[in-house]
Structure 1
Amino acid sequence: MAALLGLAMLPGLLTPIAVAAEADPLGKPKLKAPQANKVSPFTAKVNKKAAAEVAKGQRAVEADARRARADQARTVTWPMAGAATVQIPNGGSASAKPGSLPLTLAQPTPVKKGKQPKAAAALKLAVLDQKQTRRTGIEGVLLTATAPKEGGAARLGLDYSAFAAAYGGDWAGRLQLVKLPACALTTPEKKQCRTRTPLQFTNDRADEQLTAPLSFAAAPRGATQVMAVTAATKSGGGDYKATPPGRILRLGGRRFLRLLHLVLSIAGSAVRGRPQAGPVHLVRLRVSGRPHRQHQQPGLRDRRGLRPHLLLHRAQVRLL
């Protein structure tokens, strides 16, 4: 009986069992058939205003570099002490060279409205030597103008071409005419005697001429003005005022190019032994910059809300 039951179950045990085949994980993926799409060339739009600004800055830097190279070859001659009395003509101008400094005097500039200024009959012009000039803390030229007792007005012209290349950093472009207290001639060591009051002036950089109107009140012995030709902190070539320590300079485009040109001109001038922006010699200058995205404060923006191209990271200057 057991044998018959085993024989009956044998066909079922020998029947093959159907098993589902597994998908090949390394098989070819099912992709959609390739389809051609319309492709058009991409042309980036140029910001003409920004490109023009960059080109303008580059031309200005190149012009400054050419002028700096020309100034390096020029000789510097400071005027000596001297004086001259100049009669102011009714028309044109009168010239004199007290201490070899070319000066001109002319009638005051007419005003459009109001009372016309009365012209002085003559002015006595005196130029002081460099020793007296440096005692007052002036890097430039010190001079005086004395009017007759009736007073009056005149237009002064000064040719600074003989000492235009005395310093770098566009020193000639920063020249101005300032007024000093009368005590600057007697007690120049006092702080109150070194107060500088800028006068109205015009600096013709191309002709290297300073022009300024002068006005004198009536005085029993004649009024005297003490004036100086010295440099301001900025000009069309940039701002040369000292930056407070720790301040971050946000520079981009033309401003960065001008800074780079200034740094290179200072370093080159120090090697040649000529001071750049004053009576100091640069002995070490270290400047490094970082792109905006790499700076520690990448969120900085200028007044227009634009990000600068480069941030001044570190600057170290040591002067004697």
Structure 2
Amino acid sequence: MDLTYRPRRLRSSHSIREIVRETTLEPRHLLYPMFIEEGEGVKTPVAAMPGIHRYSIDLAIEHAREAWNLGIKGVALFPAIPNGLKDKYGSESHNPEGLFARTIRAFKKELPELLLITDVALDPYSSDGHDGIVSEAGEILNDETVEVLIKMALTQAAAGADIVAPSDMMDGRIGALRAALDEAGFERVMIMSYSTKYASAYYGPFRTALDSAPKMGDKKTYQMNPASGYREALRESSLDEAEGADFLMVKPALAYLDVLRVVRDNTQLPVVAYNVSGEYAMVKAAAQAGYIDEQRIVLETLTSMRRAGADAILTYHALDVARWLKS
């Protein structure tokens, strides 16, 4: 054949494929979500997420140290709060001596260079299981919720959080948090906004890990419709950027790579993808059944998120991936 162009030449060996590859995946691109619970020496398996546990503070620090030694620069912390401490207003969320504040202080003492990303939302603390305060009529109250989120973020910042991450999807909360943090002298604390978060079926295993599922109704009045695409995503992202967000996030990641690409193309801020619990659980189940090669699937999946525009990826696979990449 008389061919001028033979694209296969650039795929003919491992060395040339590495030279011309367009997308890289390294441990520095990974952020590791961790579940925290009360106790000492406690490690509780999360049944719906094989290989994932809730950790007491002491064991959580040792697990995070392992992540740091593998090249992972940040962890995202999520607390499992006993039911007896939950109420309609999420009051425990801004307790300076509560589980979360104590966890943050302990982490910063033992691992001062590790970036701590802390969740700002009411659902782990709410007796209703919602990200906001629920009215008697069943409405999720926006402005009243934001007032609690401010208290929560200030408590986390005072304890040593590097990045507060509001995952609630209340309107106006980024601007309110930025103003409150700055006024309190926490202008160096960053905000990672869950700016494009869908009312997704992929969150089920996470809610079992924290016992934080809604006790009534659903989250569709504040999280985005999965059928909505670029226009709503760009509106939410641009509002959060204008209000002072330092990072934007798309959650979930895998079913929304098209949205991730559009957000990436329309902001100069770092963009984070959340490889969520349902995505993790499906891969684990298929791998355990022998249907897929777990390592190859995970690396391909996370590379696709990087290719779509993610600067960083929150993933429960983080430690495994870091080990694979170093081997």
Could you tell me the TM-score, scaled by structure 2's length?
A: 0.24
Higher strand share: 1
Larger Rg: 1
Higher helix share: 2
The structure, 1 or 2, with the larger RCO (C-alpha pairs under 8 Å, 6+ apart) is 2
